[in-house]
Amino acid sequence: MNMSRTLHPARSRNQPPAATEGAPVSTGSESVGQASDPYGFSEHTRGLLECAATLCARQGGRMTPQRRDVLGLILQAEAPVGAYDLLEQLRVSDRRPAPPTVYRALDFLLEHGLIHRIERLSAFVPCTHLSHEEDANAPCAPVPQPAPAGHAVSACGHEHAAYGVHAAQFLICRACGGVTEIADTPRILDMLRTVCREKAFTMQSASVEVEGLCAACAARQAVDGARKAGTEQ
């Protein structure tokens, strides 16, 4: 079943109160369950964070508080978010991680297939396969069929694999900047794998960014064009 999530450029930010001077900085040693939430993550976002922590554990990784914060902010955002914007948002918490820590967290989340980088925008979006968009309560649990070694398969059937091929396709609107991730298309991935085998090329990532106009912007441009043509007659 195909699913998609559209992220629009207009983002509302619920900024928490500024951290007090001299507040302690986390060492990252506490567990995710013990991590405080200074960002007001929604119940749905917290559920996805638990799902992500479970997937990381199956891959031998660990969802530290810093990684949780970064992923939570990306999940909660209404638009693709850049590293600089993340740093600004993270500075308001009492943990105030250093930039290298944030960049390492992003690398970890990318490696484990929990987020994607939109190269054209130099920004990050969450992987929509953490849960079914149609069912926010879908369990993040392994499916009965066996998964390859080092891979974890969520209830949606999508592999979140460290060091594996994580494929994603994005539709990017040139007019409004909206980004929609669509479900992995097996035929596209199979085609890419076939080409790579023929070229003796080892594929590590298979992200596709398609640029064009979303339905709303295409309709708006058509109306504007018709009006312009009418005034010129």
Question: Is 217 flagged in the annotation as binding?
Answer: yes
Structure tokens at 125: 């979006």
Question: Is 176 flagged in the annotation as binding?
Answer: yes
Residues β-bridged to residue 173: 212
Kindly tell me the burial class for residue 187, based on how many C-beta atoms sit within 10 Å of its own C-beta (0-12, 13-18, 19 or more): exposed
In 3D, which of 122, 214, 205 has the Cα closest to residue 169? 205
Contacts of 229 (CB under 8 A, 6+ apart): none
CA dist 121 and 181 (Å) reads 14
Kindly tell me the burial class for residue 165, based on how many C-beta atoms sit within 10 Å of its own C-beta (0-12, 13-18, 19 or more): middle
Question: Is 56 flagged in the annotation as binding?
Answer: no
Question: Is 127 flagged in the annotation as binding?
Answer: no
Q: Over 25-40, what HEC string results?
A: CCCCCCCHHHCCCCCC
- Numbered residues of the known binding site: 173, 176, 214, 217
The annotation places the binding site for Zn(2+) at: 173, 176, 214, 217
